[in-house]
Structure formats: structure tokens, C-alpha cells
Amino acid sequence: MAHKADLLEPWGAYLAQARRRSPHTVRAYVATASRLLDGLGESDWGTLAQLDAATLRAHLAARRQDGIGNVSAARELSALKAFLIFAREKAGTPQATAPRLRGPRVKKGLPRPITPDEAVNLAAGVEEDAAQPWIGARDRAVLLLLYGAGLRIAEALSLTGAALPLGETLTVTGKGGKQRVVPLLPIVRDAVADYLAKSPWPVSRDAALFRGAKGGPLSQGMVQKAVARARVVLGLPASATPHALRHSFATHLLGAGADLRSLQELLGHASLGSTQIYTQVDAAVLLDVYRNAHPRERG
């Protein structure tokens, strides 16, 4: 029987290198596989290749007793199916597929956009709250990339000096290594230029564009903490997160007349189905406006 590390290390390497998953996803998928191996005891690729739906169902039932909800259970099932397909391929099983097991129903929540004024005020608030001027300029530039260009926070923080000088468009590498070209508004370009002018760290093609206080790559956690502080000062709702800025970018573009196919390209969605959720968001925003403004609703 193989040692657990002999199974988890190639699984993690496969996710990171072949599937180009984010470090966060790799950690989560490896942890999920580790829990399965702990429950099974001694295992090897051959043993894992023989696992059936009943065994997988029993494992997930035990996890539900630990208190995980539908969303977490669905994610674990997806990760386990991927791991078992990998195991069957390692074991040489022909036409390797995952055990057939339906996950719990998960109600897909709608993104909660914030208004354009709130987005701009949030970026300004983060800048004003920073310990040093260059850190404030950095955080404002990051947030404007999320709201002004629709980048995911991981995409913004993965930019390097090779992206410079910024022009009217920016090539972004998104999920799965897929590249897309997004337009850059002058306010976004100016914010990045302001950060670079104030930053104490030199810019090189291979180094992270956005640096932490000690010079290393800026982490998502630091951006999230800065936003949380500014949100309290500005009295913004808890939904005003860095990721909400990307949702707001999509919702406001759709409300201004953008078509779904163009929005899909700008957001880097693999399927149009992922973009179609914003049609519901836009309708929800309009309904809120109606409820707040219509005399009959207010009366």
C-alpha cells in the first residue's frame, strides 16, 4: 500500500501543472482527497480505482454529520470525483470515469452588486485609510482594475511588470490559463501609474506588479482587509467586497446595454451560462429601484 503523501503529491502536482488550478483550489482539492484517504485507511491507486458510489456516498454522509452544508458537500463531491478519475487513470483503468453520484441541490445565489458611486467611494476610502501613500495608491489601483476592467482579484494580483506600459487594452490570463483582452479606462491607467510613481519597489518584467509592504507579491487577504476597514468607515454593506466590484462591473455594463456575448468575453467566462446570471441581477436591481421610487410601493 502507498503512503498517503505518495498519492496526494502527484494529485496536487497534476492540479497545479496540468489543470492549472489556483493555489487555493489545489489546497482545497488535496485536503478533500486527504480526508477520503484517512477514512479508507491504507490505499493505493488500484484500491482507489475500485471505489464505488456507495463508498463515496457513505464518506459524504459522514462529512454531513460533521456539519458541512449543501454548498460544501457539492464542492467536496466534485473534488472527489476528479480525484477518483485521476486515480483510475493512474491505475490504468480504461475509459476512466467517476462513480455516478448526484450531489445535493445548491441554490445558485445572485451576485450582489454595489452602485457606481459606492464602487468609486470604496476605492477612494481604501486609499485614504492606508498606512502609507504608496500602499493607498496600490490598493486603489487594484480595486479599479476589478471594477473598471472586470478582473478577478487573482488576475489583478498575478499581473507582472511585463504588462507595462499600460495601453488602451490589457491582456489578462484567467482561469485555466485562458487569455482575454480587456479595455482599460483612463481612470484605471492613471491609478496604476500613480501607484508605480509612489511605489518604493523597482518594477521588473518577471516580478509582481503589486507588491506587499515588504516587497513580496501582494496577497488577496491584504486587499480584503483593506476593503473591510474602508467599508465600515463608509457605512457600506457587507456585500461590498473586492469580488463584488467585478459583479458590479458586469451588472452596470449590462444595464447600460452591453450584450451577453460581449460580456462573456470581457469576464472570461468559459460558457455563456455563467454570464446569463447577470440578466437576473439586472432585473433584481431594477426591481429595487422600482420599489424604492414608485409612489404605490412607498405609500
Residues with active-site annotation: 152, 175, 243, 246, 269, 278
Cα Rg for the chain, rounded, in angstroms? 22
Q: Contact at 8 Å (CB) between 116 and 252?
A: yes
Nearest CA among 108, 159, 155 for reference residue 268: 155
Rounded to whole angstroms, how far apart are CA atoms 118 and 120?
6
Cell of 79: 473534488
Q: Are 45 and 91 in contact (CB under 8 A)?
A: yes
Q: Residues with Cβ < 8 Å from 101, sequence gap 6 or more?
A: 53, 56, 57, 60, 77, 81
Terminal CA-CA length for the chain: 72
Question: Grid cell 452596470 — which residue?
Answer: 252
211 within 8 A of 201, measured Cβ to Cβ: yes
Closest CA to 122 of 215, 39, 244: 244
The DSSP H or E segment spanning 183 is strand 179-183
Instruction: List, in sequence order, every residue forming a beta bridge with 179; answer none if it has no partner.
Output: 173
User: How far apart (Å, rounded) are the C-alpha atoms in residues 72 and 75?
Assistant: 5
> Rounded to an integer, what distance in angstroms lies between the CA atom of residue 75 and that of residue 98?
15
Q: Tell me whether the omega of the peptide bond preceding residue 165 falls within 30 degrees of 0, making it cis.
A: yes
